[in-house]
A = this chain, B = another copy of it.
Amino acid sequence: MIPDSLTQIQYDTVYNVFSLVIASQLFTAIFIIVSLKRILPRYRQAMTVAAIVCAIAAYHYFRIFDSFKAAFVTEAIGGAGDYVQVAGASFNEGYRYVDWLLTVPLLLLELIAVLALARKVQTSLLYRLIPASALMIILGYPGELSGDNAVRGIFGLLSTIPFAYILYVLFVELTKSLDRQPASVRRTISQLRLLLLLTWGVYPIAYLLPMLGIDGSDAWVGKQVGYSIADILAKALYGLIIYKIARMKSFADDPAFARLELSVDEADEMISSTNARRN
């Protein structure tokens, strides 16, 4: 639950971290949109989705930021510089779930889309990943809202089932479809899946904290910082790695494009390395 008061340092930390998320998501979105011409047209759809995901996250953090500012006022009388919760106000944690409901399926879509697999394989993967990801978010929500640890536990457990299924699809099923990707792309996809596992893993940990009795203002600040950093890594950094994959695939697909986009030395290196390692 939201704490009754925050010190100046706690308040500023949350404030600055929320602002950091807004800046990271908003400018990653703009960077990707401005950079669309730096990849071949066939990968621009995936990158547009990546930019939209970051833009949606920026929008929701503007809302979260406002909700936070409205929930606390400085304790003017006494001038201690501390912040107390506005009577009756609450910090709207629900914005995060609305954000995830939109962005998490899109994060999986951008990953599959950038690989440009055969249409049948793409469709099959997406029909499994997208409903599972929506289910994961929807099942977590009632637990987040409930003050009851038993309810929280049950919905947390239910939500973990589609999460485990997503990991199975990404780490087992997807691997079978990667044999036609250049080796450098396969390596980057492995890093991307690891990033996804580590950052998505932050959410269940934050979800568990109240059940472990870790509460109070420090835990609350820690949770907000944890969610924020996980959101930056899982959307902005993730989008930039997808962009890197789209660049590598563009150069591998079309050496003439690589020569336009890279210096002579770089283009030669890139072309020879992707050709040599391609299966």
Contact = CB atoms under 8 A, between A and B. Distances in A.
Interface of A: 8-9, 12, 15-16, 19-20, 22-24, 26-27, 30-31, 33-38, 40-42, 44-45, 48-49, 51-52, 55-56, 59-60, 63, 74-76, 79-81, 87-90, 92, 94-95, 97-99, 101-102, 116-120, 122, 145, 260-263, 265-266, 269-270
A150 B55 CA distance: 42
A41 B256 CA distance: 12
Contact of A269 (B40, B49, B87, B119): B119
B48 A44 contact: no
Given A31-B52, A95-B16, A261 B76 contact: no
A104 B113 CA distance: 32
A27 B59 contact: yes
A26 B76 CA distance: 35
B19 A95 contact: yes
A99 B16 CA distance: 10
Given A20-B102, A94-B16, A269-B118, A44 B38 contact: yes
Main secondary structure of the interface of A (DSSP, over half): helix
A238 to B, nearest CB: 17
6 contacts: A19-B63, A23-B56, A30-B52, A30-B55, A38-B48, A76-B88
Given A9-B145, A23-B56, A30-B55, 4 more contacts: A19-B95, A20-B98, A42-B263, A117-B263
A262 B16 contact: no
Contacts of A31: 48-49, 52
Contacts of A52: 27, 30-31, 34
Contacts of A33: 34
Contacts of A145: 9
